Structure 1
Amino acid sequence: MIDVDQVRADTQGIAHSTHLLACGSALMPTCVVEAVITHTQLEAQIGGYEAQASQAEPLEKVYRSVAGHIGAAAHEVALMENATVAWCHAFYALPLKQGSRILTCEAEYAANYVAFLQRAKRENLKIEVIPSDENGTLDLAALEEAMGDDVGVVAITWVPTNGGLVNPAVEVGRIANAHGVPYLLDACQAAGQMRIDVEELGCDFLSATGRKYLRGPRGTGFLYIKDKWLDFLEPAMIDHFGAPWVARDKYELRDDARRFETWENSYALRAGLGAAIDYADQIGIDQINDRVTFLAEEARKALSEVSDVTVRDLGKSRCGIVSFSIEGFETQSIVKQMAASGYVIGASAPSSTRIDSERRNLPTLLRIAPHYYNTEEEVRGAVERLSSLIH
């Protein structure tokens, strides 16, 4: 059981508004803020290089914290500026033969899909979108049928930016593994709201951010690379940190996932990411998942009772992102009016998940994404305020 009173005492932001947008950038706990500030102040006092050197062990521990949180080994983890950078490092490093197919899902995120398009154009690749089943999740039978010798990678988003659904990531991994196909999993919205076990998932690569449900600072993320790939996978871009210059005409890749990192980083933000993951682990990811799912379902129930509101969520298994539309009202206007009333919600344009949006003829959607620091009263209050704005 989460001690909600203690969690709220640890969260400065609740004093300013009811923040219901964890899927965008969640409120940081005080320990995360203090970790960032403390390291920044140390840099101001003794210098950036010196601060890094003096905090070498705590900064090294961040790798172990990330690894423990996802069931990986520390040498399989690279720390990145964000989830998109992490995902792109894996995708662009993958050696794909000309004419090979990229298999993805209908709810794939825009940042990933445009990368598919770029490599497809440059390297004569084919993109194949696996259809969804009657519940809106990726159709596993269709994925199995699509597998073949010409499949270069299976790359899907586990939890889309809207739609509420949770794709069957474990089952996708079993299919990809059975056919010996690399599996790249975007866990950007999953990290911090549900358990991640890379062994169970069977993924070769996994990308995530710190700023969403993990409650870390912006400008943080991480990449998991399965150990077997570290024997030969070369990043699309390198510098002398990831690949030391060992002779005038020679470099050597690091033997760990940090070959995907560069020499310069924000160590203050890394300290904050480590604090955020440790904080989540202390609470317990299963307890977090239970509470987030409960609050999201409360929001769906309340919204479904408001006339002119349509809940747009899909899937048998649903996450903490609640998506809905309101007939006859401009989305950004609603977001601004809610903010003026003390409720932070968000919006998601069709271009963020274009294939799913076009398939379902979706408008720009509103999003409510509660976190475990929110209360049932806050969720109900937000829906009541929303109702009063449109009636």
Structure 2
Amino acid sequence: MIKPVINSVISVEQLAQLRMQTPGLDQGTHLNHAGASLLPRAALQAIHAHLDLEAQVGPMEAALLVADRLQSLREDAAALINASSDEIALMSSGSSAFGSVFAAMPQLRPGDRILTGRQEWGGNLANYQRAAQRAGATVETIPSQADGSVDANALAQMIDKHVRLISLTWLPANGGLINDAVAVGRVAAAAGVPYIIDAGQALGQIPVDVKALQCDVLKSAGRKHLRGPRGTALLYVRKSFLDKLEPAWVDVSSAPIAANETHLRNDARRFETSEAAVALQLGLAESVRLALNTGVAQLGAVSAALAATCRQRLATIPAICLHDQGDGARSGIVSFNLQGHDAMSLKNKLARQRIYIGANGVPYTPLDMQARVLHSIARASFSYLNTEDDVEILARALEAMI
């Protein structure tokens, strides 16, 4: 029997229905939703149906037949983050979304500064550092508060005429911290500095409102808490920021030629390409619709409550050290290490028991991991699909390894 989550805003009946619509739950205890969650049956069926259609009529013809459904996906994604559909691009990964936009920004000059949070995703940071090295610019870390979260007041003191970009990973990949992205947005807006948010762990887990955030760009892979397939991502580009971006490359979709003249699209689709995995995008459409219909705030409240329960349970195990930061609300990620066990080997040992967690090394969040002298962390990440039984399954397996 499924146990209700303490103070859950989703009924036991709703939870049972959501679980019943998720075939993968029969295969083990999935606690790696921050890496990639489990597809809902509707998404799986949409992918299979379109692949069948491609086999019957041809991929090009099949894509034309579902063009209206892809536009509906842009509209639903826009509704999910309080944007306009022309500010949404469908991408193949969070990295491609970020890389396309960053490459389209004006080139850095000597003395320019990029300011990032301490928990910046390693892929983003690598791009910043390489561009800064080529240009003679610098990448600087925004100070953190005592709880590890970004210090917006300290950020305001760092602003000068040389700051070209402010970047924030909203929910870090290596713990349950939730940064105050709205406070950072106020500083960026007041200074007139472009602001990029990596919302990879946020989208589908907590409410996202790009107008309140005052960000210029926001990106997220579809495979995490949105429960979309791998190979999909959403990119938001604020309409008024679009003209400041010159894509590093274009194709016949993003910059069609007419009368010997090339014209960039005047919407976020200037970052899309004519070649796309349409079946996967239709799967993502079902996952986005599920999040909209059920309510992200309600879904996120369940995963946060389960993560809090897990932290309390793991704290009773003497050999475990918890590494989550943040004094306020936390996400569904629980980061920890078990004494005598490397995080990656621990992940593999649990997987052999069909308990699936994540494990992160320094490259994932290098600035924060180095600041806290952490070489790796094990990561259990919860979804509304999980139950309190899953917490106990994990805890008992860890106890047995001591």
Does TM-score exceed 0.5, indicating one fold?
yes
In 1: Cα distance, 2:259 partner to 2:125 partner: 39
Among candidates 11, 24, 28, match of residue 17 of structure 1: 28
Residue 371 of structure 2 corresponds to 359
- Is there any run of 5+ residues in structure 1 with no aligned partner, and where? none
TM-score when normalising by structure 1: 0.97
In 2: Cα distance, 1:58 partner to 1:240 partner: 21
In 2: Cα distance, 1:156 partner to 1:89 partner: 17
Structure 1 residue 212 corresponds to structure 2 residue 224:
yes
Among candidates 167, 187, 195, match of residue 179 of structure 2: 167
Residues 286-325 of structure 1 aligned to structure 2 (within 5 Å): 286-316=297-327, 317-325=329-337
Structure 1 residue 189 corresponds to structure 2 residue 195:
no
What is the number of equivalent residue pairs in this alignment?
389
Counterpart of 1:104 in structure 2: which amino acid?
T
In 2: Cα distance, 1:88 partner to 1:48 partner: 27
Give the 3-state SS of the residue equivalent to 1:25 in structure 2: coil
Residue 33 of structure 1 corresponds to 44
In 2: Cα distance, 1:186 partner to 1:76 partner: 16
With 304-313 and 120-129 compared, the bigger mean Cα shift is at 120-129
Residues 102-117 of structure 1 aligned to structure 2 (within 5 Å): 102-117=114-129
Counterpart of 2:245 in structure 1: which amino acid?
L
Give the 3-state SS of the residue equivalent to 1:148 in structure 2: coil
Deviation at 1:232, TM superposition (A): 4.2
Give the 3-state SS of the residue equivalent to 1:367 in structure 2: strand
- CA RMSD in angstroms, aligned pairs only: 1.1
- Is there any run of 5+ residues in structure 2 with no aligned partner, and where? 1-8
In 1: Cα distance, 2:274 partner to 2:354 partner: 42
In 2: Cα distance, 1:229 partner to 1:135 partner: 33
Structure 1 residue 280 corresponds to structure 2 residue 288:
no
Q: Once the two structures are superposed, what CA deviation does each residue of 1:196-242 show, in whole Å capped at 9, x if it has no partner? A: 10001100000011000000000000110001022342112211210
Contact 1:370–1:379 (8 Å) recurs in 2: no
Contact 2:105–2:244 (8 Å) recurs in 1: no
Counterpart of 2:19 in structure 1: which amino acid?
R
Deviation at 1:285, TM superposition (A): 0.6
Contact 1:225–1:257 (8 Å) recurs in 2: yes
Counterpart of 1:36 in structure 2: which amino acid?
I
Residues 81-96 of structure 1 aligned to structure 2 (within 5 Å): 81-96=92-107
Deviation at 1:301, TM superposition (A): 0.7
Residue 177 of structure 1 corresponds to 189
Deviation at 1:337, TM superposition (A): 1.8
Give the 3-state SS of the residue equivalent to 1:372 in structure 2: coil
Among candidates 55, 74, 80, match of residue 44 of structure 1: 55
Residue 72 of structure 1 corresponds to 83
The runs of at least 4 consecutive aligned structure 1 residues that moved more than 3 Å come to none
Q: Once the two structures are superposed, what CA deviation does each residue of 1:56-84 show, in whole Å capped at 9, x if it has no partner? A: 21121111011111110000011100111
Contact 1:325–1:363 (8 Å) recurs in 2: no
In 1: Cα distance, 2:318 partner to 2:170 partner: 31
Among candidates 324, 334, 338, match of residue 326 of structure 1: 338
In 1: Cα distance, 2:169 partner to 2:91 partner: 18
Q: What percentage of aligned pairs have identical amino acids?
A: 39
Contact 1:100–1:151 (8 Å) recurs in 2: yes
Counterpart of 1:24 in structure 2: which amino acid?
G
Counterpart of 1:233 in structure 2: which amino acid?
L
